[in-house]
Structure 1
């Protein structure tokens, strides 16, 4: 980059980038200069990050590898202040001015780290069909703000590490609640703005999350399994001579039985270039039949009826030639119109943009490459990666398109997340660099040659101790030999 032009958009983007770099340095309360230069080394490294010690060789990191490891293991980050700084950034919004947040869990796999505590069994997908495995690691729940249209960019305002045996639905609801409250405090969404849309994929108890967030200005949209059975509203009371207790739930709505669907609430058809005709069919006021077990075992009072709208999405074909199976999102609102159904369809498809963010974290920024022992150090490194990715997002309008042979030119302000780091080293020299120069020091003597470590690190079981301090026990309905229950 030869120099910065004086276009208003570029000047504003340059000011936002410099401001965030200064704010990020202010969030580093212990060993802040080493942590800040570590983030710069991640952004300016030649090629993907492979090891932490390799980052100490980058020119942007002016300290030795000992200071780097000391910063990761003993540094301190004011995560509350950093979260507030992230939500104050210009967030992408949908066409109607709505903020769309996607939530998903990505694991940091640590199968051989017997000395690392708080590991859980993380669900991973294999290359073949049905090759699912449970691998020990640290699962992280990540919240990302989605852009409208086809894009690989997101804004990550929060990430939380899930402990062994933790209630995923409750932890996700608490995380989303904190993010939405920070957005309201930052003025990103006010009383006159549309509700924030929370998009989830399969694996979440979507109705329960919607129930836990009912007091917030949010809408919840999440995919359900294709074998679910929901219920219609309670039918009106009919008094006859037979007597008996009136039914609490209406007729069944079985996802796999079209004869139980009835007339839809709304139907939309959209012609797409990649999937052919996309048909979205919606049925109104459907709720799951809750029972007093699992998450609802200790619920006080009568179990609620969490009504919503079920949308069936079907396309003609897939880009890779695979079989196009319908998906079943559930929306927490009722009385859906054709515009609402089409908006749910578009928002659910945009949810997969968070997968591009996970791939960039792991393949380019190498979020899970360092072999870190302590989970607190893993959290610290995770926030370094998030701060580095945020700087790439802010530098998108400023970076030049440094194409490699065979790559097509990108449209203005449409660089992919993998192309922006190529010119960040030239851009860094023109932004704020609040880190101080390293002080001269003498390395310590270290361990005497030939001496042995007489204090070996303790070993930890995987997923055996939960956050309450009690041993984790497998639920009874997960044991082998039990009769499969019907998904209601």
Structure 2
């Protein structure tokens, strides 16, 4: 190892040690047990199949009772931990731009009838029209994406969606707080490129663009292929009588006869999808009505203009006749280079799926059968803290070959392979948790007694209702 690599390694381990100390400071109750739980999660061999197995790891010096007591009675200052995550080094694209992605991953609890705050979570099936709705806890994650295709993402925030939450409003508050923390941490300053936020079709990108218009952020997402949008208002000619139109002609995505000539058309050769052709139309806005999230909007509905993109590729893996994808950006007056940058960044939106697979299949995020939603949120933050420790060391641990594995290309190790060698890194970094104190187990329930206070049952789904029905809203506005 040369001097430069040694300096990089020392700096990476120093950054990791600082994060571990900050993480320990965020644990305000049962701190030692929670911290050692995260270390056991990082150092255990193989995927996590049961939560109690972590108590057998050498890094967890306490009993299994302390493990469950930390999750049920511990306390994590989530806002402080969010600020700590925002202060870590942030990946950027080739142009120095910050690219974030927001997505929902569900912790399914179909058989937990005594668990509160469950919602019906959408689960994709393998066959056509095989999607299902299964009770569970949906979590909204905001991650920072790396430049190019990778399985590494930096988790910045996680919020559990409850039965009384409006998903669009919660997402708007979450994105606003994330961007404000990044600005406060010095990752963005005046004059730098705006933060790019990419999302899939499950989000109302138009509503989010309207609510977050005051932030230095561009929103880019997929929209349905059967939507009807509006073109810009045509200029009023001299001598024209009558009331001027508020909007331009219709732009029906499923009716090519309504499409005007695009402002830009770019074709890019890709190794995975063949030739990718992108057509763009500037200052196109959706046609809004007083429904769904706009039901309670007072006054005239806004006109939120953006750039509409139609992306078409030659083929997809397993599909030789793919359908075009419609995308919409909150930015206007885009150039051909902006169009290419946007849709290529949108493809990186699928990188968080690798992180969700790591959480569920390797770190055992959805393995525990916890009843309390607050305990589930504590466990979620422990998993996020463990994943961040795999991500934050930088290139030094990633370039080291895992024991018993073939050497990988420098910088191309997966998070699971870095985790296999984390036990060798742990002695070189900060260990703030204190030694366990001697004690004895509690008396527990007397032998032969029965549980006379069964847990209550909870219904699944939304519990909040609108003050007025849609017809009553229309009557009041009329």
TM range (shorter): over 0.9
Q: How far apart are the structure 2 equivalents of 1:41 and 1:127?
A: 34
Deviation sequence 1:181-208 (CA, Å, 0-9, x none): 0011110101121101110101111111
Q: Secondary structure at the match of 1:128?
A: coil
Match in the other structure for 2:138? 139
Q: Secondary structure at the match of 1:287?
A: strand
Match in the other structure for 2:381? 383
Q: How far apart are the structure 1 equivalents of 2:362 and 2:175?
A: 27
Match in the other structure for 1:67? 66
Match in the other structure for 2:474? none
Match in the other structure for 1:342? 340
- C-alpha change, 1:203 and 1:214, in structure 2 (3 Å) is same
Match in the other structure for 1:170? 169
Match in the other structure for 2:454? 456
Match in the other structure for 1:88? 87
Root mean square deviation, CA, Å: 2.0
After superposition, where does 1:396-415 map in structure 2 within 5 Å?
A: 396-399=394-397, 400-402=400-402, 409-415=407-413
With normalisation by structure 2, the TM-score equals: 0.94
Following superposition, the deviation at residue 300 of structure 1 comes to 2.2
Q: How far apart are the structure 2 equivalents of 1:464 and 1:144?
A: 27
Instruction: Name whichever of 290-299 and 138-147 sits farther off.
Output: 290-299
Runs of 4+ in 1 over 6 A off after TM superposition: 472-477
Q: How far apart are the structure 2 equivalents of 1:297 and 1:427?
A: 54
Following superposition, the deviation at residue 472 of structure 1 comes to 7.8
Deviation sequence 1:117-152 (CA, Å, 0-9, x none): 111111111121111111111110000000011111
Match in the other structure for 1:305? 303
- C-alpha change, 1:16 and 1:475, in structure 2 (3 Å) is farther
Match in the other structure for 2:475? none
Following superposition, the deviation at residue 410 of structure 1 comes to 1.7
Q: How far apart are the structure 1 equivalents of 2:238 and 2:113?
A: 65
After superposition, where does 1:186-335 map in structure 2 within 5 Å?
A: 186-237=185-236, 245-335=243-333
Match in the other structure for 1:395? 393
- C-alpha change, 1:125 and 1:327, in structure 2 (3 Å) is same
Following superposition, the deviation at residue 297 of structure 1 comes to 2.0
With normalisation by structure 1, the TM-score equals: 0.92
Q: Secondary structure at the match of 2:396?
A: coil
Q: How far apart are the structure 2 equivalents of 1:115 and 1:309?
A: 47
Count of aligned pairs: 468
Deviation sequence 1:354-396 (CA, Å, 0-9, x none): 1111111111111111101011011100000000000001235
Contact conserved, 2:403 with 2:421, CA < 8 A, in 1?
no
Q: How far apart are the structure 2 equivalents of 1:453 and 1:107?
A: 31
Following superposition, the deviation at residue 239 of structure 1 comes to 7.9
Q: How far apart are the structure 2 equivalents of 1:164 and 1:244?
A: 49
- C-alpha change, 1:440 and 1:239, in structure 2 (3 Å) is same
Instruction: Name whichever of 427-436 and 316-325 sits farther off.
Output: 316-325
Q: How far apart are the structure 2 equivalents of 1:356 and 1:445?
A: 44
- C-alpha change, 1:476 and 1:129, in structure 2 (3 Å) is farther
Contact conserved, 2:34 with 2:70, CA < 8 A, in 1?
yes
Match in the other structure for 1:481? none
Q: How far apart are the structure 1 equivalents of 2:24 and 2:450?
A: 39
Deviation sequence 1:316-346 (CA, Å, 0-9, x none): 1123345322111100011110110011011
Deviation sequence 1:212-262 (CA, Å, 0-9, x none): 000000000000011111001122345889x65433221111111222211
Contact conserved, 2:13 with 2:428, CA < 8 A, in 1?
no
- The answer for unaligned runs of 5 or more in structure 1 is 478-488
